């Protein structure tokens, strides 16, 4: 009887920690008047097998974006254009930048000509492949010139094939196969560079 009470007590103790128990009635043990001689008892032993957990690393191949950018300051000669428009007041100095993001094969981009027509400034650049492989790398190529002129609406045209990929800098420009595609816009224009 004592052994069963101990087992029942241990099981009750274990159940207490593994579930939610709400007491609905007070416990009352029976009154027992027994004269018993006892020997030392023994608590039960339990062999518990827990899950074995191993934490380690494993090598697998995944795609990881990599971009290596090295910025160095270097003094270079940049074309400077000073434009005086009749009846226009203040001039503003700004850098005209053209750039393209290319992948796998290196390219060069150069501003070839600049035209002024009314309040429009047409910047015509050329993008050409150098043939040099980039081994799955992406490269940003650019050219620039400094313009000191009244506020003009700048329109960029790049002669060459638009590079593959949906990169913002490639979408900021209009790509054309040759200059004759925009010759009607340049009819009354004045060439100020190139």
What is the tens place of the pLDDT at every residue in 68-88?
667 678 887 878 878 776 666
8 A C-beta contact, residue 84 and residue 117: no
DSSP 100-128: EEEEEEEEEEEEEEEEEETTEEEEEEEEE
pLDDT in tens, 92-144: 888 888 988 888 888 899 999 988 888 888 999 999 998 888 877 788 888 88
pLDDT at 51: 46
- pTM beyond 0.75: the answer is no
Residue 54 pLDDT more than 80?
Answer: no
Question: Residue ranges per domain, the chain?
Answer: 92-193
Secondary structure class of 43 (helix, strand, coil)? coil
Q: Which helix (H) or strand (E) holds 4?
A: helix 2-18
Residue 182 has pLDDT above 70, yes or no: yes
| Mean of pLDDT over the chain | 75
In degrees to the nearest 10, what's the CA dihedral of 126, 181, 92, 73?
-10
């Amino acid at each position: 009887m004592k052994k069963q009470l101990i087992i029942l007590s241990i099981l009750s103790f274990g159940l207490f920690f593994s579930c939610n128990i709400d007491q609905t009635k007070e416990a009352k043990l029976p009154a027992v008047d027994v004269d018993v001689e006892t020997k030392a008892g023994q608590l039960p032993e339990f062999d518990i097998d827990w899950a074995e957990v191993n934490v380690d690393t494993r090598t697998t191949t995944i795609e990881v974006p990599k971009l290596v950018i090295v910025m160095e300051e270097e003094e270079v000669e940049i074309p400077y254009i000073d434009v005086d428009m009749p009846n226009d007041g203040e001039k503003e100095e700004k850098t005209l930048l053209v750039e393209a993001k290319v992948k796998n094969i290196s390219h060069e981009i150069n501003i070839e000509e600049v035209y002024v027509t009314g309040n429009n400034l047409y910047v015509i650049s050329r993008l050409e492949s150098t043939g040099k492989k980039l081994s799955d790398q992406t490269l940003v190529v650019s050219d620039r010139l400094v313009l000191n002129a009244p506020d003009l609406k700048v329109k960029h045209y790049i002669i060459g094939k638009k590079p593959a990929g949906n990169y913002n800098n490639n979408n900021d420009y209009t790509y054309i196969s040759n200059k004759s595609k925009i010759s009607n816009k340049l009819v009354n224009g004045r060439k100020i560079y190139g």
